[in-house]
Amino acid sequence: MTSWFTRAVLVAAAVFAWAALTAGPGMAHAALESSNPADGAQIDAAPDNVTLVFNQDIQPNFAALTVVGSDGAQWGRSEPAVDGRLLSVDLDGLGAAGQYTVAFRVVSSDGHPIAGTYTFDLTQAGAAATPTAGTALSATTAASTSQAQPAEESGGFPVWILLVIGVVVVGGAVTFMLAKKPNTRR
């Protein structure tokens, strides 16, 4: 009895170790690593663009990035551009001194959507006269989001549950297959 039980435990442990070691990097979602301007930065002149850097490549489809002033005006002049781990939008200058909100929504390489916001302050009024009408996210959506750090959207199924179910099923199958058949009398 000890022999088959030991084998079943070893097989289950090997399956679990294999699943844990191979599932980690491929199952992780993208996360914002840095930005320019940075979260909470105080700048005296408008940058040419806003650039976000993620910890992994993001999908170019469905990427959105807006820069919205405290008056609700959007200051991006281009469509968001994705280049591997980078997401950027060109700016049409900035307006009045004050707080600007950067809002983004991207899709990780694993298909999971990630969204968030952060703010920076312009300390001197910009030279731009009028904001542009943005198409990536509405100014209302971007300005109304009040998260200080990027927040992952919910909606994905936890992968660890599938791993546990797989280990239990494989362990049960191995145990069943290794169990000795009882002797039948003729």
Give the chain's domain count: 2
Same domain (yes/no): 11, 48: no
Same domain (yes/no): 9, 51: no
Kindly tell me if the per-residue pLDDT of 112 is higher than 60: yes
Residue 183, in any domain of the structure: no
Q: How far apart, in Å, are the Cα atoms of 33 and each of 56, 58, 101, 170?
A: 9, 13, 17, 38
Residue 174, in any domain of the structure: yes
Same domain (yes/no): 97, 8: no
Domain that holds residue 12: 2-27+159-178
More confidently predicted of 113 and 172: 113
Residue 127, in any domain of the structure: yes
| Model pLDDT, residue 3 | 72
Q: Work out the average pLDDT over 160-180.
A: 73
> If pLDDT is split at 50, 70 and 90, which confidence band does 158 have?
low
Same domain (yes/no): 16, 46: no
Tell me, what CATH number does 108's domain have?
A: 2.60.40.1220
Same domain (yes/no): 73, 140: yes
Same domain (yes/no): 48, 104: yes
Residue 154, in any domain of the structure: no
pTM above 0.85, yes or no: no
| Model pLDDT, residue 123 | 93
86-90 vs 42-43, strand pairing mode = unpaired
Kindly tell me if the per-residue pLDDT of 140 is higher than 50: no
Residue 94, in any domain of the structure: yes
Same domain (yes/no): 99, 167: no
Same domain (yes/no): 88, 173: no
| Model pLDDT, residue 32 | 93
Q: What is the mean pLDDT of the chain?
A: 76
Same domain (yes/no): 62, 144: yes
Residue 71, in any domain of the structure: yes
Residue 185, in any domain of the structure: no
Tens of pLDDT, residue by residue over 19-33, are 665 554 445 678 999
Instruction: State how far Cα 93 lies from the chain centre.
Output: 28
Residue 83, in any domain of the structure: yes
Same domain (yes/no): 79, 13: no
Same domain (yes/no): 39, 80: yes
> If pLDDT is split at 50, 70 and 90, which confidence band does 135 have?
very low
Same domain (yes/no): 80, 108: yes
